Amino acid sequence: MNFYDLNIEPAVFLAPMAGVSDYPYRQLVREMGVKLLYTEMISAKGYVYGNRRTSELLKFDKGKQGAIAVQLFGEDSEFMARAAAGITQEYEVDLIDINLGCPAAKIVKTGAGSALMKTPQLAAKVISETVKAVQIPVTVKMRSGWDDNNLNAIQIAKLAENSGAAAVAVHGRTRQQFYKGQADWQIIKNVKAAVNIPVIGNGDIFSDLDAEAILASTNCDGIMIGRAAQGNPWIFKEIIYYLKTGNRLKKINNIEKINFALRHLKLSVDYYGEDYGIPIMRKHLAWYLKGMPNASEMRNKINQLTDYFKLIKLLNNYKNDLDND
């Protein structure tokens, strides 16, 4: 099945991010016009062994979420194939994505994530076995390479294509870089020139103008937003509008940002309950507040609260103070 048979234009996506791209946040992003949403990364072995936390990550409302991609990580091709097959049978999933990009030490030390880029033949086996196990598109998310001496994204992308992958997403940084330095868009361009499947560009896309620039400079088929979407779900609406019309939306103000934060908070508490929903929102609220007056003081107050209604009151009072400035 072709990647674009999913009817996901415009090809602007939220990157899978552990602890960020959860169900509550995905609802906000969907409202911004994103047609295909990725879950947080799922452990293939965790799914096969029935891990409770893994099953929580796979909860989504198909009716509200539209097209859904599940990102799997793992270094064992048998477990990856079993997980992909089981998930597609159990859930209404539109796409399986294979993680070859996560730089986290706890993932890499198992041989999964970006560590698979050091073992191209194993990566190819993981991809091909997963493709054989399902009837839906399988895509691959990778980095430019392990380090500056091993920039093998082109090799991995060709192996992915030959193994049946429907598309690849390339983050223009090595694993060694993590998220430091500047993303290398040239390697995304080189991957695009080397394969015949769609290529999604990722890395240092912080605005609508950045989105236009990476598409123009790399000829990639779509873009994926990661850190720039943290506390900033409206970035998707800005980018999609600009790519469609050539016009830029007016930037939202701080009061509108707090309104987003309040909505996000409600979605989180409704979904997780207070005991888990509030702690998980603390980092999100810090991102929403970034650059606002007295943000540090607000973060300290937020981190001390465990009561939902007190937190709402705090944010509303802060919003009123902003309105009176």
Residue list for the binding site: 16-18, 71, 141, 171, 226-227
Torsion, Cα 178 179 181 186, to 10 degrees, reads 90
Set 8, 84, 102, 261: catalytic member: 102
Taking the C-alpha atoms of residue 101 and residue 106, their distance in angstroms, rounded to an integer, is 13
Nearest to 164 by CA among 130, 118, 194: 130
Instruction: Could you list the residues known to form a binding site for FMN, using ranges.
Output: 16-18, 71, 141, 171, 226-227
102 is catalytic: yes
At 287, is the secondary structure helix, strand, or coil? helix
Going 72 to 87 to 220 to 162, the CA torsion angle's sign is positive
Three-state SS annotation for 224-261 = EECHHHCCCCCHHHHHHHHHHHCCCCCCCCHHHHHHHH
209 CB neighbour count, 10 Å cutoff: 13
- Residues known to be catalytic: 102
